[in-house]
């Protein structure tokens, strides 16, 4: 990851913690239709799988219901149902 990407990711993480969910949703909505995704900012690739960042999910604007690792919508019923289904598969 480049130094610039590292700095941007740190800045986004700090802003999310400092400003709260609603404020970050407003900020992220400006970038919702940006078109392309930026590796290390919107996603990383782990073992060939795309892992979307919290920033990407905020730009998306809602929970997709897949139980994503970085989902910033922990109170979403969609998120809970996906996590519950995954935990049932693990048993």
Mean pLDDT, contiguous 10-residue spans, the chain (91 residues): 89 91 91 89 94 93 88 75 46 38
Residue from 68, 21, 29 nearest 49 by CA: 68
Structure tokens belonging to residue 44: 């990383």
pLDDT given at position 24: 92
pLDDT given at position 1: 79
Phi first, then psi, for residue 49 (nearest 5°) are -105, 140
Helix (H) or strand (E) holding 44: strand 43-46
* Helix axes of 3-19 and 21-29: crossing angle, nearest 10 degrees: 130
Predicted model pTM:
0.76
* CA–CA distance, 17 with 14 (Å, rounded to integer): 5
């Amino acid at each position: 990851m480049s130094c610039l990407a590292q700095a941007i990711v740190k800045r986004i993480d700090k802003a999310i913690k400092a400003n709260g969910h609603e404020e970050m949703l407003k900020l992220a909505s400006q970038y919702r239709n940006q078109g392309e995704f930026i590796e290390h900012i919107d996603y990383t690739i782990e073992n060939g799988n795309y892992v979307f960042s919290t920033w990407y999910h905020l730009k998306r604007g809602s929970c997709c219901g897949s139980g994503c690792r970085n989902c910033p919508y922990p109170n979403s019923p969609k998120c809970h149902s996906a996590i519950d289904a995954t935990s049932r598969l693990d048993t």
